[in-house]
Every structure is written in C-alpha cells, then in structure tokens.
Amino acid sequence: NIVKEVYLVGSMNDWNQKSDRMLETEKGVYAISLLLKPDEYHYKFLEDGMHWITDEKAKSFTDDGFGGKNSVILVDDHFEKVTIAKNDGIFLNYGISTLQNLETVNPLSKTRIEFKTKAHRDDVETVYLLKSDELIKMNKIAEDGSFDYFQTTILLKNEDEIFDYCFVYRDGEQDYYLLDGAFSSTKDGSIFFHYSKENIQPFLTPDWVKDGIIYQIFTDRFYNGNQENNPDFSEWYYEGINIAPPKGKLLKKYTQYFHNVDDWYNVSGLTKSPYHAPNEEGYQPDYNSFYGGDIEGIYEKLDYLEDLGVTIIYFNPLFQAKSNHKYDAVDYMKLDPHFGTDEEFKKLVDEAHERGIKIIIDCAFNHTGETFWAFQEGMKKGPESEYYNWYEWKKWPMPDPAKTPNIKPSDYYECWWGYGEMPNLNYDLNEINPSENSIKNIDLAVPNWEVVNYVLDVAEYWISDMDLDGFRLDVPNEVPFWFWKLFREKVKSIKPDAYLVGELWSNAVDWVNDDYFDAVMNYAYFKDPVMRFFNQRSCSAKTFDRDLKPGLLSYPTQSTQVMMNLIDSHDTFRYLESANGDISRLKMAVLFQMTYVGTPHIWYGDEVGMMGAHDPDCRRPFNWKYTEDSEKVSLRDYYKKLIQIRKTNSCLRTGSFDTLLAEGMVYGYLRSDKKSSIAVILNNDTNRNKIKVPL
C-alpha cells in the first residue's frame, strides 16, 4: 500500500493526530525532530489517519490500553541540550506555525479581530503585532510547559478595511519577524500576511449554544409514555433472535436475544445477563434489552427538563434500527416506530421550541446497519445492484451465516471496528477506508455522489422537515474531511445557526473551523482533566490548569464558548460510579462545569445521582423514584441552582477566563465581561486550606 502521510502521535503532543507530521527523507523512510523537555514519552506512528504503528526500534514499550503497545522514549542527558533564555538575542522558532489560519487571526465580529501567537517558554521578552506601520504590544495570556501565549484584539475602522501585518518577537536588541510562511531577522514587507474580509472569513458559532445547557437523552431509557408502542420484535430483522432460551437453559455468550424488560427499575441484566452462560472471560451484560422509553415519555417530562433549566436536548440516534442504541440505522429518514410517529416527534419539537428548548440529534454517517435497505440490496444482488458500491466490498457473495456460523463479515466488507452489524459507507471511489478520511481537497477524491447526496438529503430532511437545530456527529474522523465541508455548507444554508458538534476524543483543531464543525465533545480538554483532578484527585491544581489550557488556546474563542463540556456520556462510566458514589466529588465537578468556558452537558440522570459502569450499565433507565431520596433531591436542586446562576451571569457564559490560583489542590479563576466579574475558588483537598487570592 502507498502511504500518503505519517504523523508522530504521543504524550509529547497530547496525542494530537495532526500536530507533528513526519517528513519522507527517502522513499518509505519518515523522520521528525522535536524539542522536548526531559521526561518519558509514549508514542506511536499514525499512517494515513487510521493505521497505528508501534516503533519496534524503541528501547522499551508500555501497554496502550487496547491490547497493543506504545513505544517509549526517555529524553535525558543523552540528547543534546537546547538552552532557552530571555535577553540572549536568540529566538527558537521550532513548533511555531507560519500559516494564516483561525489559530492566529480570528474575526470575532465584522470589525473586531483577535490575533494570537506563541513563543517558547521564557524565550522572548515581548511580542508585537505589526499592523501596517503600527506596532501593537500583545498581552501574554497563558503559559504551559512549552510555550508562552500572546493575544491582542483590534477594532477596524469598518468591515472593508484591509492591511498587511506580521508578528514581531523582541529579545534583547534583536527582532524576529513571523511572516507569511517564513521567519526572518529582517522586516520583509513582501511576505507580510494580508488581511481582508474576503481573505479571512468570519467563523460564526450559534449564540444559543453559548447560552445553553445541554441534556443528553438515551430515548429507550428516559421515560415510557406509551406502552402501546413498546418493541414487539416483529420486524424482519429480529427473526430468529427474539426467542428466549428454553426454561433452565442459557444461551452461549454473545448469542443475540432481543427482548423487553418489564420492570423499569430492574437493571441487574445490564451488568450480568440472565439469559447467557459465562465463558472463560466471565459473564456478559444484556446488550439487547429494551425498556420502552419513547418520544411521548419525553414530551410528558418537558416540565421536568424546563424546571431543571435545560435549553438543549441532545438525543442519541432516533432512526429506525435493530439495536436499542440506534447507531445501526435501518433507514436514516424513518423515526424508529417504537419511539413514536413523525407527528409525535414534530409535536415534541414544536413544544420544546415554544419553551425555548432546542433539539439536536446524534447521527452516525460513517456506517449504517447491516439491515439498511441499500446494504441489503447490495448484499443480495452484488455488483448488479446500483447500491453495491455504496459500501466497500472485499469479496462477494457472502455465505449464509446460518450455514457458516464462524463467518467474519470484515473479510467481506469494510465495517466499523470489525462489527459486521455496522458496514461502512463508501464516500470515495478511489480510496479505501480509512485512507479516504484524511483527504481535505475534494479535487483529490473521486466522490461517490450517490452516497454523498443521499446523506446530504438526510441532513436536509431532519433540519428542514423535522425542524431540528443541529447534529452531534458520530466518529467524524472516519469520514473524509471534504464530505464534512459539503455537510456544513448544506446544513448552514438551510439553518445558519444550526449547531454542528463532532465526537472527537483528542485534539480536534483540524475539525473545528468554518469548514467543518462549530465544536466537539470536549473529552480531551474538559472531561479528562476533570476526571483526573476532581474525580480521582490524581493531579495537582497546577497540572489541572496546564491540562485545560490547550483547549482554551488551540481553538477559536467562538468555538471554546460552544464546546460540549461533558463529565460522562453513553460511552463512559457515569461520573458518580468512578467517584465510588462520593457526591461531594460530583458537586465540585459540576460547580466547575457550570462556571467554565463552554456549554455544560448533562448525561440524563446525573442530576439525581445515577450510577453505572461500562455500557450498557451507564445507560440505566432514569430513576424517577429520586423524589423518595432527600440526597438525590438535594443534588438536583444543586444542579438547578448552578444552572440558574450561569444563566443570570453572562460572564460565566462568554466572559474571559483567567487563572487566579493553582496551589496544591486549590484552584481559583476569574470570569469577567463588561457587566460583571465572578471569582471561583475550589478547594479540592480533603483538608481545609487557608489561601490568599490575588485579585
């Protein structure tokens, strides 16, 4: 296979998949030079965005958590030391971008422009923005283990103003110029950056998300409002897998059995299936149980959501599908009939909108279900079917699974992580998955327009016909970049303030811009640091602050304000489960969540202290008996109070963020705007602390 690009990905760059591209020094040989502090670093090579390669020449290795291994490099005195110091007249430019993009120039409005750059920690005395002939001193706004970050905001005379600019680094008597594509010790005006409204397009994110509170609902587990539409498993795709084992018998592990659970509060099967025998690995959860939650149930609970302060409902997929999670769509344009009718859903959307509540849904456009109509026809007819190339077939025909029980679907077609129930859609006729995913320029692709236009029609249907307000997009890194550009253009042309948020677990700077997504689920720079500091108490406040900073500095300001700041989800342990039921740790995290930059996200039931381990246990039915437990009622009141404080103080939503204190386990910060300022001091210690706060 021809390798198109290789990146070094590891702890040295926060596992950012697009940070450090390696250069092909000779055919098939890639290399990179880095400036690193003395420490131990874990890493892998990433080929073409999907193939993770262990460096077998490393001197040591460590478990990668997925059954493989990471390579380890120890940076110590064996490497040449690089000295960084102020006032020495020496400027180190490694790792500082010379590109014009939203990281360095960001229109916050038609006339208010933000400029940002960085320098190696303690390397230069001052940084300036040189705008035409005007020298503007930039403010140091943050620092981390490697860099100092600088920022300034200017006001244009009018939106049509044009000018040339560059960044000036001053160290001692020496100036260095960051120009368009180059660094120089001389001021070369011929390669200044150029600013115009045509050259730098404003990147607008929805204001309603900045002011929002997101509440995620897994529909089957929220509330059963209509017993009549409970699953009966009469659809063709349940044939043969809807039959309980004979009395006294158990099914082999992973044998499918789809069924209802009659008792809403019986959650024991979510950790240990009563229908399956264990094997050498132990018991399996009951993955295929249904509890009957539906659209009518959510409609009936709108008062509950409105009272809590929810302004955005984020639904896990609602498409007709075989599973309870619905990531295996049968048809993208059909609501699952056991959730309700189109009329019931439109009624819910209309009523939610009347109450000031927006609706977004989760969509998996990387893969469909194997029950999907196009896949079924392609599988049956093969190359004769017009839908055959909607998927990436390796060989055809497929044997009958009933006659070939050990068949591996991934031997016959590309599917999501090898799960045959989720075949991958084929977006690029010239590239196989995953090689197609890293392509940004559509001219380098051969788009499968039948698939592309169908998915764009799906987006239009839900945004226009169903009047939704946005999408949470599942595994977007497994779909080509160029497709998401088309997707954004389509959705924003219909509803300009629609919210597009991607499920990306690491640094997502390549995806967060005016070509692709407004924001991402903030696992890397919110959930993960919150878990380490508040939940596990495994890091200091100083480390916590350092871990937050890339999320504030890597993304445009308007994106940080709409980041989906979660502490748990359908894919993770519930926060309280990880905290061993310690509600004080949850309260501390929620206080931070409601006063931090970005949009707070609540996984249904967290506000009443629900527990749950690995899925499906984290997807237990909502505990509507919470009113019988004063501690759970108190916790919900705590959420409600904090939500109200956030809503009534704009500085907590769109104000600046400044660290005041990071000592031991005590963390303090200031949120400010023109209207007000609020200081938040969090003592995450088990002991009382006497502190002095610099204000």
Cα distance between residue 335 and residue 295, in whole Å = 10
Task: Count CB-CB contacts under 10 A for residue 265.
Answer: 11
Cα distance between residue 513 and residue 204, in whole Å = 9
Q: Where are the alpha helices (DSSP H) in 608-671?
A: 630-648, 651-654
Question: Is-contact 478 17, C-beta < 8 A?
Answer: no
Question: Is-contact 651 675, C-beta < 8 A?
Answer: yes
What are the φ/ψ torsions at residue 37 (nearest 5 degrees)? -75, 155
**Catalytic machinery residues:** 474, 503
Alpha-carbon distances, residue 195 vs 141, 166, 554 (angstroms): 23, 10, 21
Cα distance between residue 548 and residue 544, in whole Å = 6
Cα distance between residue 21 and residue 464, in whole Å = 40
In a 10 Å sphere around its CB, with 0-12 CB exposed, 13-18 middle and 19+ buried, how is residue 596 labelled?
Answer: buried
Cα distance between residue 10 and residue 39, in whole Å = 13
Cα distance between residue 127 and residue 311, in whole Å = 41
Cα distance between residue 562 and residue 500, in whole Å = 10
Collect all residues with Cβ–Cβ distance below 8 Å to 411 and sequence separation of at least 6.
394, 395
SS3 sequence of 456-523: HHHHHHHHHHCCCCEEEECCHHHCCHHHHHHHHHHHHHHCCCCEEEECCCCCCCCCECCCCECEEECH
Task: Count CB-CB contacts under 10 A for residue 653.
Answer: 20
Please say whether the dihedral angle defined by the alpha carbons of residues 579, 583, 584 and 590, taken in this order, is positive or negative: positive
Collect all residues with Cβ–Cβ distance below 8 Å to 618 and sequence separation of at least 6.
568, 569, 570, 571, 572, 573, 574, 577, 603, 612
CA 493 to chain centre: 24
Q: Residue 226 is encoded by which pair of tokens? A: 């209509």
Q: Which residue shows structure tokens 């769509």?
A: 329
Which of these, 480, 485, 472, 522, lies nearest to 318 by C-alpha position? Answer: 472
Q: Residue 501 is encoded by which pair of tokens? A: 């948020």
Question: Is-contact 600 565, C-beta < 8 A?
Answer: yes
Cα distance between residue 392 and residue 380, in whole Å = 15
Alpha-carbon distances, residue 51 vs 48, 254, 437 (angstroms): 7, 28, 12
Cα distance between residue 324 and residue 218, in whole Å = 9
What are the φ/ψ torsions at residue 684 (nearest 5 degrees)? -90, 15
Torsion of CA 576, 581, 582, 587, to 10 degrees: 40
